[in-house]
Amino acid sequence: MDAVRKLPTWVLALAPLALIVAALVALLAFGGSTLGERTGPPAEELAVERTELRPGEITLTLRNAGPDPAEVAQVFVNDAYVDYSSDGGEVGRLGTRKLRLDYPWQADSPYLVTLLTSTGATIEHEIEAAVATPEPGGGFIGLMVLIGIYVGVVPVVLGMLFLPLLRRIDPGWVRFLMALTVGLLGFLAVDAWLEGSEIAGESPGALGGVELVIIGAVAAYLALTALDRWLRGRREAAGRSGASAERLSLMIAIGIGLHNLGEGLAIGSAYAVGALALGTFLIFGFALHNTTEGLAIVAPLSDTRPGLGRLAALGLIAGAPASVGAVIGASAYNAEVAGLLLGLGIGAIVQVIVQLVPTIRDTAGRALHPASVGGILTGVAVLYVTGLLVAA
C-alpha cells in the first residue's frame, strides 16, 4: 500500500475515472453482441408538448419520449385525415418535431388529434376546447405584466399596510399573526404540490415528471437555506440590531416571490391555452388571496422601523415574479418548466415556514400552543375561502 500512498493525488482521481470510461466504452462496443437486442415492437412514445391554434391551423410540438426513433406518417383530426407540414421526418430519442395541421377548427369545440405513426400505431392528443393562441407581441407581454402586477405586486403591498397595526399590538398577537402566516404558507405549499404534480403528470416523462417538482423544491430549499446562512453571517459580523427581523422578512419575501412565479406561470399558461377567462372577478380573487402574503412579509418587522424603500423592495421581490411567471407561462409554457418552477415555489415556502417557527414560540418555548394553532388554522381557512374565488 505504500506504493499507492506515494502516488500523486491527481493520479488517484484520474485512474479510476479512466477505468470507468474504458469499461463503459467496452460495454457500448461489445455489449450489443453479448447482451442481445431488445425484443418486442418499437416503443413509439410521441408526446405533444405544446398546442397552438391559429385560424385554420393547429400546430403541435412533439417530443419523442420513448427509447426508439418514431415517425408520424399521417394525422387525422376528429376522424378526418388532414394535410400537414412538418419540419422533418423521423424523430430521434428526446428529439422534437413541429407539425402544422391544416384544419378549420371552431372556437370552443373539443378536438381529438390522432397521430398515425409509420408502424400504424396511434397517439391521441385531446384539445379540450379550441381557443386561438395569443400571438406573443408587445401588447400581449404588456398584458401579462399587468396581470402579474394586479395579482402579485398590488396585493402584497396592500397587505404590508398592516405594519403600523402590528407595531401597536402585544407579542401574543404577533405570535398569532406569525402562526397565521405559517398556515397561509402551508396551504400554498400543499396547493402548489397538488398543481405541480398534476402538471408534471402531463409531461412526456422523458425529461422527468414529478421528479422535477421535487428537484425544484429541494433545490430551492437548500439554496435559500444557504442564502439565509450567508445573510445571517454577514449581518452578525456587521453587528446590526434588528438584523434578524429584516433577514427574516427578506427570506419570506423571496420565498413568496418564488411562489408567485409559479402562480403567474399558472395564470399565464391557462390564459394562453384558453382555459382561463381573465374576468375582473378572477383577478379580484387572486388579488384578495395574495393580500395575505404582504402581511406575512411585514409580520417579523413589528419591532423595527424599516424605510419605505426597503418595504417597496420587499414588495417587489415578493410580487414582481408573478409578472415574470405570467409572461413565461403564456409564451414558453411546457409541463417540465411549469413543474420545475412550481417545485421551486414549494421549496421556498417550506424554507420560510422553517424560519418562521422560532417566531411563534411562546414564552415557554412551545411552537404549538393555543394561539399558534389558532393562527395556523385561521391562515388555512383564510386561503381556503379566498381560494374559492379563483376556482376557475
Partner 1 sequence: MKRLNRRQALGALGLSAASLPLLHGRVPHSSLHGTAVAAGAQPTRKPGGMDHGGGVNGPTFRQGDVVDHRANGFNPTEILRDFDYGKTRKLASGRTLREWTVYAVDKEIEVAPGVKFPAWTFNGRIPGPTLRCREGETLRVRFINGSEHPHTMHFHGFHAPAMDGIPEEGDGAIAPGKSTVYEFDAEPFGCHLYHCHVSPLAEHIARGLYGAFIIDPKAGRPDADELVMVMNGFNTNFDAEGNQVYAVNTVAFHHNNEPIKVKRGELVRIYLINALEYDPINSFHIHGQFFDYFPTGTSLQPNELTDTIALTQAQRGILEMRFRDTQGGRIMFHAHKTEFAELGWMGFFEVA
**Which positions touch partner 1 (CB under 8 A)?**
56-57, 71, 73-76, 79-86, 100-104, 114, 116-122
Q: Which is nearer to partner 1, 41 or 365 (CB)?
A: 41
Contacts 24+ apart (CB under 8 A), 115-121: 115/46, 115/62, 115/72, 115/75, 116/72, 116/73, 116/74, 116/75, 116/76, 117/44, 117/46, 117/70, 117/71, 117/72, 117/73, 118/70, 118/71, 118/72, 118/73, 119/41, 119/42, 119/44, 121/44
Angle (nearest 5°) at CA 283 between 277 and 288: 145
Helix axes 321-331, 243-272, angle to 10 degrees: 20
Q: Minimum distance between the CB of residue 48 and partner 1, rounded to whole angstroms?
A: 17
Q: Minimum distance between the CB of residue 104 and partner 1, rounded to whole angstroms?
A: 5
Q: Which is nearer to partner 1, 121 or 354 (CB)?
A: 121
Rounded to 5 degrees, φ, ψ at 50 are -150, 140
Q: Minimum distance between the CB of residue 42 and partner 1, rounded to whole angstroms?
A: 12
Q: Which is nearer to partner 1, 117 or 225 (CB)?
A: 117
Taking Cα atoms as reference points, which of 46, 89, 83 lies closest to residue 67?
A: 46
Q: Which residues contact 180 (CB under 8 A, 6 or more apart)?
A: 292, 295, 375, 376, 378, 379, 382
Give me the amino acid identity at 73: A
Q: Minimum distance between the CB of residue 47 and partner 1, rounded to whole angstroms?
A: 17
Q: Which is nearer to partner 1, 135 or 303 (CB)?
A: 135
Q: Minimum distance between the CB of residue 119 and partner 1, rounded to whole angstroms?
A: 7
Q: Minimum distance between the CB of residue 49 and partner 1, rounded to whole angstroms?
A: 20
Three-state DSSP class for residue 100: strand
Q: What nine digits make up the cell of 359?
A: 417566531
Q: What nine digits make up the cell of 273?
A: 391555452
Q: Which is nearer to partner 1, 104 or 139 (CB)?
A: 104
Distance CA 5, CA 31 (A): 35
Three-state DSSP class for residue 388: helix
Q: Which is nearer to partner 1, 118 or 244 (CB)?
A: 118
Q: Which is nearer to partner 1, 72 or 256 (CB)?
A: 72
Q: Which is nearer to partner 1, 102 or 303 (CB)?
A: 102
Q: Which is nearer to partner 1, 77 or 189 (CB)?
A: 77
The DSSP secondary structure of 301-352, one letter per residue, reads GGGS---HHHHHHHHHHHHTHHHHHHHHHHHS--HHHHHHHHHHHHHHHHHH
How are beta strands 122-127 and 57-64 bridged, if at all? Answer: unpaired
Q: Minimum distance between the CB of residue 92 and partner 1, rounded to whole angstroms?
A: 17
Give the CA distances from residue 104 to residues 101, 179, 273, in Å, rounded to whole numbers and listed in that order: 9, 55, 18
Distance CA 195, CA 16 (A): 44
Q: DSSP assignment, residue 224?
A: H
Give me the amino acid identity at 166: L
Q: Minimum distance between the CB of residue 105 and partner 1, rounded to whole angstroms?
A: 9
Q: Which is nearer to partner 1, 37 or 79 (CB)?
A: 79
Q: Minimum distance between the CB of residue 192 and partner 1, rounded to whole angstroms?
A: 38
Whether 261 and 346 have beta carbons less than 8 Å apart is answered as no
Q: Minimum distance between the CB of residue 57 and partner 1, rounded to whole angstroms?
A: 7
